[in-house]
Structure 1
Amino acid sequence: MKVVVADSADEATRRSSRRYALLLAAQDSEYVLKAYGGYFNVFVSAFGGGECKEEEAWDMFRAVDGELPAAEALAGYDGFVISGSPHDAYADELWILRLCLLVRDLVAARKRVLGICFGHQVICRALGGRVGKARTGGWDIGIREVTMAPTLPPCGFLHGLPPYAKITECHQDEVWEAPEGADVLAWSDKTGVEMFCVGDRVLGIQGHPEYTGDILLSLIDRLASSDSITMSFAEAVKRQLEATGPDREFWLKLCKSFLKTEEA
């Protein structure tokens, strides 16, 4: 599946365009299909465009169904985004193992790789870090304030980070130990590694910058109806969402800057 954000005017424009791939690690929910046409559109809306004035193309690969870009196609992409998933990043399902191998290939090729929630965790695993069930136990769902590291690596996309930022969370697994050579960029009172980077080409974020409020509410209802969370827990999260929200524009700007800033 492919979406071209802007039509190219000529062959020269096509050659200079940027191209990104979404590696989708979850099936589209009924709500997201109805409201947005699928998670692909959610991610392109969140991370596409921005300050870059060039033509921009996005492709989708359903990694959860075993669909990944061919090795010979990797060079044609400027960046890759790995989505969240209800699956465990530490599981040994074949598609997860293949995704880990792909991550290693992308890092070796110095491609930009952005991981969201499950994607954050699977990048960690692929690069030798440790991932598992949240050590504090249970789900982390709702809005959580994360603390940014006081000292950050000299990456352009990290310039001007605030000391704190609120983000939408929905997970019960976490990064236990970041990969060797990684910098932990943020943490919270619930999760020790909310964000990490490896140089200027790999970024993992535990929360969901791409989520809108209605997507989270739909997910809460689904988890409650399947008894994955209690109704009282679901109602408490909904009350929190009525009182506060994420710093979504900050997170979207950060992700776009990471994907589209050229650095040496």
Structure 2
Amino acid sequence: MVEVKGSSPAIQGEKRYALLMAARDPDYVKKAHGGYFNVFLAAFGDEQGERWDSFMVVDGEFPDKNDLHCYDGFVVSGSPCDAYGNDEWILELCLLLQTLHSLKKKVLGICFGHQVLCRALGGRVGKATTGWDIGLRRVRIMEDLLPAGSSFLEDLSRMSPPSLSIIECHQDEVWEVPSEAKVIAFSDKTGVEMFAIGDHILGIQGHPEYTKDIVCSIIDRLLDDCCIEREFAEKAKCGLEGADEPDRSRWEKICRNFLKES
């Protein structure tokens, strides 16, 4: 697997994916993991027969519209920015997501990506009515609402009840999904933890790619920036340290299957 800044000629028979980065690498992630690109690659990539191109959409770097057909799937990362903001790059990202939807391209949105994907396709997003959600949370899958053809979630139907734990780190949420979308998961904190449109659009509010150390470093940064109170930060870190590991392998399988199934 290779990180490519911007697009480049494809190799015949090679699967190709684009990571649309909506956040810059913080110092901790660069030092501990080599940057967010490596974090996503470890979670969603395979070692052979794939190429992942990286686009810093937060800095105005987008794939060429003439190259969109070359890609088998797209992943939109999380971000400290608001998905309902009107920054030029966010509006351009919305237009790109609308185009990808019309082309029936696979698009996986994570956290901010989940929210901006919802916004771009006609839904509504905003500040979470219950405030920040940081830590480990159990997400309940509504198997009876899974869209037809969503075989990437088929193993969840064998769980009783079908639920998975995931790391959350957000203060915004989806208020209303697009008219053609189905809400397929919720939690006791957030009403729309996952939504899907057919077999080509999937939004996940939590972070399948995060490890505990990454979210703990984010908590420290949010505290330093006065975004959260010390008591809240300490409680969140304590909760993470005392909790079991999230169901990362299950989430990674869901995401990989979604991106890579025909």
With the shorter chain as reference, the TM-score category is over 0.9
User: What's the TM-score once normalised by structure 2's chain length?
Assistant: 0.92
Aligned to 2:214: 215
Query: How does 1:1-264 map onto structure 2 within 5 Å?
Result: 3=3, 14-49=11-46, 55-136=49-130, 138-151=131-144, 152-154=146-148, 155-161=150-156, 162=159, 163-244=162-243, 245-262=245-262
CA distance in 2, matches of 1:131, 1:196: 13
Structure 1 contact 113–201 (Cα < 8 Å) conserved: yes
- 3-state secondary structure, aligned to 2:169: strand
Letter in 1 for 2:249: E
Contact 2:147/2:197 (<8 A) preserved: no
Separation (CA, whole Å) in 2 of partners of 1:160 and 1:44: 23
Using the alignment, how far apart are the partners of 2:51 and 2:195 within structure 1? 26
Alpha-carbon offset, residue 37 of structure 1: 1.7
Aligned residues: 250
SS of equivalent residue, structure 1 residue 43: helix
Structure 1 distance, partners of 2:212, 2:175, is 28
Give the whole-Å Cα distance in 2 for the aligned partners of 1:18 and 1:260: 9
**Amino acid in structure 2 at the alignment position of 1:247:** D
Give 2:93's aligned amino acid: L
Q: Which amino acid letter does the alignment assign opposite residue 46 of structure 2?
A: G
Q: TM-score, normalised by structure 1?
A: 0.92
1:110 is displaced (CA, Å) by: 1.0
> Contact 1:14 / 1:55 at 8 angstroms: preserved in 2?
no
Partner-residue secondary structure (3-state), 1:142 = strand
Q: Secondary structure at the match of 2:119?
A: helix
Q: What is the CA–CA distance in structure 2 between the aligned matches of 1:215 and 1:205, rounded to whole Å? A: 18
Gaps of 5+ in 1: 5-12
Amino acid aligned to 1:80: F
Which residue type is aligned with residue 48 of structure 1? G
Q: Which residue identity lines up with residue 21 of structure 2 in the other structure?
A: L
Aligned residue for 1:238, secondary structure, equals helix
Q: 1:35 and 1:218 mapped to 2: Cα distance?
A: 11
* Percent of aligned pairs sharing the same letter: 59
Shift of 1:3: 2.3
1:70 partner amino acid: D
Residue by residue over 1:120-156, the C-alpha shift from the partner in whole angstroms, topping out at 9 and shown as x without a partner, is: 00000000000000022x2100001111113022311
Deviations 1:228-264 (A, max 9, x none): 11111111111111221311111111000000011xx
- What is the CA distance between 1:158 and its match in structure 2? 1.4
Residue identity opposite 1:246 in structure 2? P
Amino acid at match of 2:44: F
Letter in 1 for 2:27: E
Distance 2:135 2:126 in 1: 20
Give the letter aligned to residue 102 of structure 2.
A
Structure 1 stretch 57-66 or stretch 155-164: which is displaced more?
A: 155-164
**Alpha-carbon distance in structure 1 between the residues aligned to 2:127 and 2:167:** 19
What is the alpha-carbon distance in structure 2 between the residues aligned to residue 200 and residue 47 of structure 1?
A: 17
User: For 1:205 and 1:237, how far apart are their aligned partners in 2?
Assistant: 21
